[in-house]
């Protein structure tokens, strides 16, 4: 082959290689742009719930559902996050948050002075009140009728603390979750069960339980999502607060409240 021919072929190959390289660089740049854009839309936040707390967070088949679950997911979507859920007993969720295994807890978490001192809360998305349920055939007509008797509650719940403050004569028996606490009163192991009034009411209605609520309101509280009290937690809370306002104005939180509780317990101040 002549020197001239070799030069021409070499030049063609060089152009192809360079051109191919250009195409590769261009394609990679497009891929990176697409990946970056995708990541921006699908940032992941890991939230904790019990997965065994009707109607807040529970399993329907293999799917995690519930009032708090749906509110959190809708708010997260508006804030640009995809939620990864981790399930544990309520008491254990706080340890998961403290050790950064989760970024927040969305499971009917009531505001208390102790929790607010340690954790960063969102604004409240619903209002709650603690009540005690007793068997329908119980002779108890008010809270004081349960003096010196056992009342079940969920370990780590502020409802237990509130009950002890309201009536020191009642003996509190902590259980791992709501189901086991409710079963304790249904099987006559305890005289009653303390929990959120709306949650107790919804559970009694759904499962046709032979329980009734005592008229006493032990405490009124507000419920939000708890994050760690650091810069990241403040950022999460701010973005979720903005989303809560939008959801409230759309009527979504009220709609979900009526779906899961049978009536509206949403924080109406959010929509103002």
pLDDT of residue 29: 36
Question: How many CA atoms are closer than 13 Å to the CA of 41, on its beta-carbon side?
Answer: 5
Outline which parts of the chain fall under CATH 3.40.190.10: 41-126+223-271, 128-220
The whole-number pLDDT of residue 42 equals 65
Residue by residue, pLDDT tens for the chain (272 residues) are 544 444 444 444 343 334 444 333 333 333 333 333 333 456 999 999 999 999 999 999 999 999 999 999 999 999 999 999 999 999 999 999 999 999 999 999 999 999 999 999 999 999 999 999 999 999 999 999 999 999 999 998 999 999 999 999 999 999 999 999 999 999 999 999 999 999 999 999 999 999 999 999 999 999 999 999 999 999 999 999 999 999 999 999 999 999 999 999 999 999 98
Predicted structure pTM score: 0.78
Q: Kindly list the distances between the CA atom of residue 144 and the CA atoms of 138, 148, 167, 179, 191, in Å, as whole numbers in the listed order.
A: 13, 9, 7, 25, 12
Q: Please state, as a whole number, how many other Cβ atoms lie within 10 Å of the Cβ of residue 6.
A: 10
Q: How far is CA 248 from CA 91, 142, 205, 237, 254, in A?
A: 29, 35, 26, 16, 7
Query: What is the Cα–Cα distance from 182 to 200, expressed in whole angstroms?
Result: 9
From the candidate CATH numbers 3.40.190.10, 3.10.20.80, 3.30.70.640, 2.60.120.590, the one assigned to the domain spanning 128-220 = 3.40.190.10
What's the pLDDT score for residue 272?
87
The span from the CA of 188 to the CA of 171, in Å, is 15
Sheet order of strands, 52-53 included? 52-53, 57-60, 63-65
Please provide the distance, in angstroms rounded to a whole number, between the alpha carbons at the two ends of the chain.
85
Domain spanning 41-126+223-271: CATH 3.40.190.10: yes
Among candidate residues 51, 41, 122, the one with its CA nearest the CA of residue 82: 41
Q: Contact 90/154 with Cβ under 8 angstroms?
A: yes
* Alpha-carbon torsion angle 264, 52, 133, 95, nearest 10: -100
């Amino acid at each position: 082959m002549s020197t001239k021919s070799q030069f021409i072929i070499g030049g063609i190959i060089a152009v192809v290689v360079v051109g191919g390289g250009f195409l590769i660089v261009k394609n990679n740049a497009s891929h990176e742009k697409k990946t970056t854009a995708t990541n921006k839309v699908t940032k992941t936040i890991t939230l904790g719930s019990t997965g065994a707390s009707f109607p807040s967070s529970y399993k329907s088949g293999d799917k995690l559902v519930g009032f708090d679950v749906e509110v959190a997911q809708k708010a997260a979507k508006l804030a640009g996050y995809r939620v990864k859920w981790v399930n544990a007993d309520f008491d254990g969720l706080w340890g998961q948050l403290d050790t950064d295994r989760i970024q927040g807890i969305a499971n009917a978490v009531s505001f208390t002075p102790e929790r607010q001192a340690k954790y960063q809360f969102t604004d409240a998305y619903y209002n709650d009140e603690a009540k005690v349920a007793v068997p329908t055939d119980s002779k108890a007509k008010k809270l004081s009728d349960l003096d010196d008797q056992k009342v079940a509650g969920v370990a780590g719940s502020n409802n237990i603390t509130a009950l002890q403050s309201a009536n020191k004569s009642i003996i509190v028996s902590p259980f791992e979750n709501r189901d086991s606490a409710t079963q304790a009163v249904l099987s006559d192991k305890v005289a009653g069960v303390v929990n959120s009034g709306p949650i107790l009411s919804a559970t009694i209605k759904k499962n046709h339980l032979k329980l009734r609520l005592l008229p006493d309101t032990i405490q009124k509280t507000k419920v939000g999502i708890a994050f760690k009290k650091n810069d990241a937690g403040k950022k999460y809370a701010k973005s979720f607060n903005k989303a809560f306002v939008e959801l409230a104005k759309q009527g979504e939180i009220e709609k979900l409240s009526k779906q899961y509780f049978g009536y509206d317990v949403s924080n109406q101040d959010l929509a103002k």
